[in-house]
């Protein structure tokens, strides 16, 4: 059997009412057939939207097929035991030219109770943000279900939500249950559980291209929402060059920032997991025992579990998100 190698996948693009042109213009992806490209799914095991390998002898194979064939060698023993033949992480780039709907995702227990598979916990890394761009994350004060519904009915929901001004490099962890929405002018990388379950709460009273309002999920969302208020909604980390900086550590994934301007060696001998590199700035050559490849901003590479050493050689000041499961 041929040896596994670092894998790139063909992106799957999604047109969105709120999408823009940065996935094409900034990330330089070929999504010309889509007028308002809101999302590029660059690594996905979601049924119906599974990404295919872009090159090498495995080109054309779907991600979940590879998990079924290579099992531990691809994803790691613990990961395979827990998730079986479904790859557990979804990686997207998102371009918000307008407000996304205010929404919430169920956790595992609620999703499984409703026959929806996994819940959806995610994180956002802000690649770029226009001046005064903002997002919504959670509540600004403690509320109960009645208060929430009163504001929803009166179309004043934003008054009780936590609004944050954002800039490049900000990270937001969005556990299942947290009400959230992206505002216009934001380009980001999203790392999340393998799930496409979203409960749309409020859509700013807009209509689609056919003049119809988009479906809302008011009742379904009620049991999913975390009504608590938290001290800090932004993930705090200290950016340090040429080191591994932890930005998110949780049950579903750990993500570190690698901000490098000189070579860096990564040793994964102690890690029983795949590794995902998502490039959010610059251009890097990845050298592994049997070859090399390059990754640039807007690309994602899956490093199989059986590859335990990667040497990173940036050609300029570059940033990678390094994601795995502990």
Q: Which CATH number fits domain 12-222: 2.60.120.10, 1.20.1440.230, 2.40.50.140, 3.90.10.10?
A: 2.60.120.10
Pairs from 25-29 (Cβ < 8 Å, separation ≥ 24): 26/95, 26/127, 26/128, 26/187, 26/297, 26/298, 27/93, 27/187, 27/297, 27/298, 28/298, 29/93, 29/298
pLDDT, residue 102, reads: 96
Query: Against a cut of 0.85, is the pTM above it?
Result: yes
pLDDT confidence tier of residue 1, bands split at 50, 70 and 90: low
Q: What's domain 244-324's superfamily in CATH?
A: Jelly Rolls (2.60.120.10)
pLDDT, residue 209, reads: 80
- 164 vs 137: CA distance, rounded Å: 7
Catalytic residue among 12, 14, 200, 206: 200
pLDDT, residue 211, reads: 85
- 102 vs 30: CA distance, rounded Å: 29
- 285 vs 313: CA distance, rounded Å: 5
What confidence tens digit (pLDDT) does each residue in 294-326 have?
999 999 999 999 999 999 999 999 999 999 999
What confidence tens digit (pLDDT) does each residue in 4-26 have?
999 999 999 999 999 999 999 99
Domain boundaries, the chain: 12-222, 244-324
Per the annotation, the verdict on 309 as an active-site residue is no
Asked if the domains at 12-222 and 244-324 fall in one CATH topology, the answer is yes
Joined tokens for residue 223: 């049991």
């Amino acid at each position: 059997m041929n040896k596994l190698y670092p894998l790139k996948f063909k992106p799957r693009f999604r047109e969105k009412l709120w999408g823009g042109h940065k996935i094409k213009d900034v990330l330089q992806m070929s999504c010309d057939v889509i007028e308002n490209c809101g999302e590029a799914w660059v690594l996905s095991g979601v049924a119906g939207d599974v990404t295919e390998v872009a090159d090498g002898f495995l080109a054309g194979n779907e991600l979940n097929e590879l998990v079924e064939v290579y099992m531990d060698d691809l994803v790691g023993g613990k990961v395979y035991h827990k998730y079986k033949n479904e790859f557990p992480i979804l990686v997207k780039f998102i371009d918000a030219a307008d407000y996304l709907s205010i929404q919430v995702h169920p956790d595992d227990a609620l999703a499984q109770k409703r026959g929806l598979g996994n819940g959806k916990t995610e994180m956002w890394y802000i690649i770029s943000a226009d001046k005064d761009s903002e997002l919504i994350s959670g509540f600004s004060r403690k509320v109960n279900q009645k208060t929430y519904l009163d504001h929803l009915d009166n179309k004043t929901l934003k008054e009780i939500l936590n609004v944050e001004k954002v800039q490049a490099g900000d990270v937001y962890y969005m556990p299942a249950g947290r009400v959230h929405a992206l505002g216009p002018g934001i380009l980001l990388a999203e790392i999340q559980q393998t799930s496409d379950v979203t409960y749309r709460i409020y859509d700013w009273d807009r209509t689609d291209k056919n003049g119809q309002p988009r479906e809302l999920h008011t009742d379904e969302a009620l049991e999913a929402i975390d009504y608590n208020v938290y001290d800090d909604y932004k993930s705090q980390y200290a950016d340090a060059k040429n080191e591994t900086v932890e930005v998110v550590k949780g049950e579903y994934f750990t993500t570190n920032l690698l901000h490098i301007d000189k070579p860096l060696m990564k040793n994964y001998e102690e890690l029983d997991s795949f590794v995902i590199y998502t490039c959010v700035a610059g251009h890097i050559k990845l050298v592994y025992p049997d070859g090399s490849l390059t990754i640039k901003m807007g690309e994602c590479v899956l490093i199989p579990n059986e590859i335990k050493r990667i040497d990173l050689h940036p050609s300029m000041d570059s940033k990678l998100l390094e994601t795995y499961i502990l």
